[in-house]
Amino acid sequence: MPELPETETIARDLDGAISGRKIKKVSVRKRDVLRGVSSRSLAKRLQDATIVRSWRRAKLVVIDLDTGDRLVVQPRFTGALLIDDGNFRGAELDYSTLRLELDDGRALHYADVRRLGTVALMNADRFAEYSAKLGIEPLDRSFTAAHLSAVLRATSQPVKKVLMEQRKIAGIGNIYANEALWRARIDPSRLAASISVEEASLLRESIVNVLREAIAARGTSFRDYRDARGERGSFVEKLDVYGRGGLPCRRCGSKLVSTHAIDGRSTTMCVRCQH
């Protein structure tokens, strides 16, 4: 599932490529990806709207329109926002669910093989209400060690599960929770309330650094993720634990262990380094 670095990459690509463009035609090819809006209403509200900017909130790609509406896309497992300039060779366009024809001849597609992602159209008030339910952005200045420590001290859930709780911290998923906890030398199964202030400070630094590095590498293409140009992210080459179960720990050489016991998702860790 695209997490913060992947959706940030997509949003930046879109912002640079389609800001200022007008939507001339809307084609809904698979209505089941729409949420809270009908195909007819979506087409009517998008027709002749100008794209003001594209940005990210949590794991969402948000496209602001001059009408005041916001097109809100949650790619989930296999979703992708792709810019088709006529030279696109990716097979992903075969799975286009929504096509927005732009005034310069290009098109923006939302493609989704499994159609588990969603596309919503929200006015400013509805989006503000929706966004208010999400947690703090880990790349914001307000995400301090003290803030993270307070979040962790307030719950007895496993620390890895807390990092992925979108109502507490927005944008971190399984990949980067694994990576940050390994960097901070913290056992993912430890109770969040047991994390000391000093450990929370190191964990906060690890979270911020791994997210920034992944953005610089244009995300992690472990399976399905593609950027707006249909290309893969390269951070998979720098993963220290995620997807490396059974391989040597890059820090101590011990065999990495993978388990689904913590939160039902794949957790990989070094039992020697992380405690």
- Across 254-268, average pLDDT: 95
- Three-class SS string for 25-90? EEEECCHHHEECCCHHHHHHHHCCCEEEEEEEECCEEEEEECCCCEEEEECCCCEEEEEECCCCCC
| Same domain flag for 126 and 157 | no
| Same domain flag for 183 and 90 | no
| Same domain flag for 158 and 237 | yes
Task: Return the higher-pLDDT residue of 88 and 124.
Answer: 124
Q: Which residue of the set 2, 138, 158, 188 is catalytic?
A: 2
Q: Which residue of the set 25, 212, 265, 272 is catalytic?
A: 265
Give the CATH number, domain containing residue 217: 1.10.8.50
Confidence band for 89, pLDDT divided at 50, 70 and 90: low
Token pair in block for residue 87: 């030279």
Is 244 within the bounds of a domain?
Answer: yes
For position 222, what pLDDT does the model report?
76
Q: Which of 102, 7, 111 is nearest to 46 (CA)?
A: 102
Give residue-wise pLDDT tens across range 114-158: 999 999 999 999 999 999 999 999 999 999 999 999 999 999 999
| Same domain flag for 37 and 108 | yes
For position 235, what pLDDT does the model report?
94
| Same domain flag for 98 and 202 | no
- Across 244-265, average pLDDT: 95
For position 139, what pLDDT does the model report?
98
Q: Which residue of the set 3, 8, 179, 199 is catalytic?
A: 3
Listed in sequence order, the residues at least 6 apart from 46 whose beta carbon sits closer than 8 Å to its beta carbon are 23, 26, 65, 69, 71, 100, 121
Give the CATH number, domain containing residue 114: 3.20.190.10
Q: How far apart are CA 69 and CA 55, in angstroms?
A: 14
| Same domain flag for 96 and 151 | no
Q: How far apart are CA 218 and CA 5, in angstroms?
A: 7
Domain count, the chain: 2
Is 274 within the bounds of a domain?
Answer: no
Q: Which of 132, 166, 182 is the last residue of a domain?
A: 132
Give residue-wise pLDDT tens across range 47-86: 999 999 999 999 999 999 999 999 999 999 899 999 998 7
Is 54 within the bounds of a domain?
Answer: yes
Is residue 189's pLDDT more than 90? yes
| Same domain flag for 90 and 182 | no
| Same domain flag for 71 and 160 | no
Residue 158 designated active-site: no
Is 10 within the bounds of a domain?
Answer: yes
| Same domain flag for 12 and 122 | yes
* Run of H or E including 258: strand 257-259
pTM: 0.94
Q: Which of 76, 100, 132 is the last residue of a domain?
A: 132
Residue 2 designated active-site: yes
Strand-pair partners of 110: 81, 98
Q: Which domain holds residue 196?
A: 145-269
For position 96, what pLDDT does the model report?
94
Residue 59 designated active-site: yes
Residue 138 designated active-site: no
For position 9, what pLDDT does the model report?
97
Q: What is the mean pLDDT of the chain?
A: 95
3-state class (DSSP) for residue 118: strand
Q: Which of 117, 136, 63, 121 is nearest to 226 (CA)?
A: 117
Q: Which residue of the set 45, 59, 70, 190 is catalytic?
A: 59
| Same domain flag for 45 and 69 | yes
Q: Which of 132, 161, 181 is the last residue of a domain?
A: 132
| Same domain flag for 160 and 220 | yes
| Same domain flag for 211 and 167 | yes
Give residue-wise pLDDT tens across range 195-233: 999 999 999 999 999 999 999 999 998 777 888 888 889
Q: What is the β-pairing status of strands 267-269 and 257-259? A: antiparallel
Give residue-wise pLDDT tens across range 94-119: 899 999 999 999 999 999 999 999 99
For position 65, what pLDDT does the model report?
98
